[in-house]
Structure formats: C-alpha cells, structure tokens
Chain A
Amino acid sequence: GESVGLHLPTLSVQEGDNSIINCAYSNSASDYFIWYKQESGKGPQFIIDIRSNMDKRQGQRVTVLLNKTVKHLSLQIAATQPGDSAVYFCAENMSTSGTYKYIFGTGTRLKVLA
C-alpha cells in the first residue's frame, strides 16, 4: 500500500459504534467543504459536501457538521463498519472569489476494530 498515512492521527472505533472525525479549516472566507475517503492504494473518494449557508447535511450513514464560528468541520459515521477503515480528509474551497483553489487537511486514519 501507499505510505502517505505514516504520520496521521488515528481514530480507533469498535465496529457498530459511531465515529466522529474532526477538521479545523483555515480560511474564514471558505464557502464549500468536502469530505473524502482514501483507501490504501487508491485515490480519494467523495463522501459528502456542505456549503457555508448550511450547518448540517446528512447522507447515507454520514453527517457533516459545519461550525463557521470556530472554523470547524466534522464527519459523523453511524454504525461504523470494517469497510469504513480508511484515511479521511476534509477540503475547503473559497469559490466566491472566482478562484477554485482547494486546501486539504492532513487527514485522519480511521481504524475499525472487530
């Protein structure tokens, strides 16, 4: 597998429990946020996104919460499964300026314990 996850913070969760992965973003003007999942040896895969006019968005088993006051983003995974084991990245974008630069967090490794 790839070595990009060597220095990542790790969250270990029992199978069936809920997981919460946190992310602090850097730019108060960012208005679009995405969570990606990266499995070993693969490219990042979209999970869920949220725009700055919302503070919560739900998908299938996942929920993203956005707190603009403290520039904080979280990803909640319900009933965590072994297939959820991966590295999770948040990304921010400031699209209103007309530019589309993305800034990614350094990632969190999620380990699901059987």
Chain B
Amino acid sequence: EAQVTQNPRYLITVTGKKLTVTCSQNMNHEYMSWYRQDPGLGLRQIYYSMNVEVTDKGDVPEGYKVSRKEKRNFPLILESPSPNQTSLYFCASSRTGGTEAFFGQGTRLTVV
C-alpha cells in the first residue's frame, strides 16, 4: 500500500531535549516536505527536499533541521525544542515538486 509513515504519532517532551520525528515513503517520490499545522494558521511549510541530499527552507524553518540521505526517508530534527514548537506536524511526499502530495497521519508534539 502506497503510504507516508510518520513516527511517533504523539510525543510529549521537555524543553531542550533533542528529538527526531521520522518520515518514510514507499512510492519512490523525489519531493518530500514537512509542515506544521496550528489553529487559525493552516499548514506552514518548514523544510522541503527536491531529492536526495537536496533540502531547502520553507516559510518557518527556525528551530528545525532535516536531512535527506536516502530517497525514502526525511526525518525532522528539533535540536532544542521549545514550547512554541508545540504543534501538529505533517510529512508529505510527491512524485515531483509540482504534483499532488501524499500526507502522513501527523505527529502531535507537545513541548512542556
């Protein structure tokens, strides 16, 4: 089954404790992206990757890192999480940058 898988689905952590949210797709898609979703603000793009070893900032990259060492994986790293990073995070992939995206189920992150 074609899918984008994020882990974990829910995470509560403390300020400053490094964490990684994993994202994996099995569709051989070139383009992958991370978004955060907050009430009243919709989805905002954090980082995207056009292909392996190619990443670029979205609209809200501060406080986040990504890597794309393999085509199927695109982890989101929070080196020192802060409470303002409490949000619902989505990973998405698409065949190319200009085609429809398939989204994961989301990761609800709470930073206390």
Contacts and interface: CB of A to CB of B under 8 A. Distances in A.
Does B bind A? yes
Interface of A: 2-8, 32, 34, 36, 42-46, 49, 89, 91, 93, 95, 99-107
Contacts, number: 75
Size category of the B interface is 20 to 34
B39 A3 contact: yes
Contact of B44 (A5, A7, A36, A104): A104
Contacts of B59: 101, 103
Nearest to B31: A100
A34 to B, nearest CB: 6
A100 B48 contact: yes
Interface string B85-112: 0001010100001111111111010000
A43 B50 contact: no
A73 B74 CA distance: 31
Nearest to B102: A46
B58 A106 contact: no
Given A101-B45, A102-B45, A93 B105 contact: no
B102 A6 contact: no
A4 B48 contact: no
27 contacts: A4-B37, A4-B38, A4-B88, A7-B40, A42-B105, A43-B92, A43-B105, A43-B106, A44-B90, A44-B92, A44-B103, A46-B100, A100-B31, A100-B48, A100-B98, A101-B45, A101-B56, A101-B59, A102-B43, A103-B59, A104-B35, A104-B42, A104-B43, A104-B44, A104-B45, A106-B41, A106-B42
Contacts of B103: 36, 43-45
B33 interface: yes
